[in-house]
Amino acid sequence: MQRVPIQRVLVTAGASGIGREIALAFVNSGARVHVVDIDVAGLNALRADSLAISTEACDLADLASIERVIPQAIETLGGLDVLVNNAGIAGPTALVENYDPREWDRVMQVNLGATFNVTRLAIPHLKKSVAGCIINMSSAAGRLGYPQRSAYAASKWGVIGFTKTLSMELGVHGIRANAILPGPVAGPRMERVLEGRAATSGRTIEQERVSALANQSLKSFTEPGEIAALALFLASEAAKTISGQAISIDGDQHRSV
């Protein structure tokens, strides 16, 4: 595999959280990065922090928006070497019997639908790269399940199956595909999850925090920057024979409860 002098990287849902850390990590490594997200304010803040990042608003739950924005984003980059499918939503916290079917469809539309649609549009461009790479964001829920978060767990299991299939289909073109499976990640999103659990269980948020960490060997949530470092590695020359893998970064999590 030849070394790419300047990687051209597209990150979905990169205006905040894990996606933002990934975008900044690639820029700091010398890559050319374009971020798409529905969060216009977040995109503006990201550009203010790094003038090297280009951005465009995109509703990743809307097919028409994806089909309009993604080709433009790749054109802005001048091609594509690395696709990071980071878009995802948690969905409500509810038992299956109480789960709103409309919310189920919305989670699938973003977590699986956006990953599929962005990828299919990116593949023709990745085939032109000398080191094409796809990184899909799954979750520990994609290997452990997740009580009261059925749509999220199902979608993240689906991401892993999609990733493995991509690896098998695209390996002949030298394109690698891997999935990252974070466990609980420090930040606002995790705090909202803990709040949702507390509202359902009647326990305090701190009690839910202790409960979440009880299910992993290392007693701390994963930092977004640690996940960004893993993404950077997977897109690097050092990972040139790593493909089709579902790689956990979760403090050795045992259960998703």
Give me the active site residues, please.
Answer: 152
Query: What is the residue whose two structure tokens read 């420090």?
Result: 186
**Tokens in use for 219?**
């007693």
Q: How far is Cα 194 from Cα 44, in angstroms, rounded to an integer?
A: 29
**Tokens in use for 246?**
């579902």
Q: What is the CA angle 52-57-63, rounded to 5? A: 130
Counting every residue written for the chain, the total comes to 257
Query: What is the residue whose two structure tokens read 């939503």?
Result: 89
Q: How far is Cα 18 from Cα 184, in angstroms, rounded to an integer?
A: 12
C-alpha dihedral over 68, 69, 73, 79, to 10 degrees? Answer: -40
Q: How far is Cα 55 from Cα 41, in angstroms, rounded to an integer?
A: 11
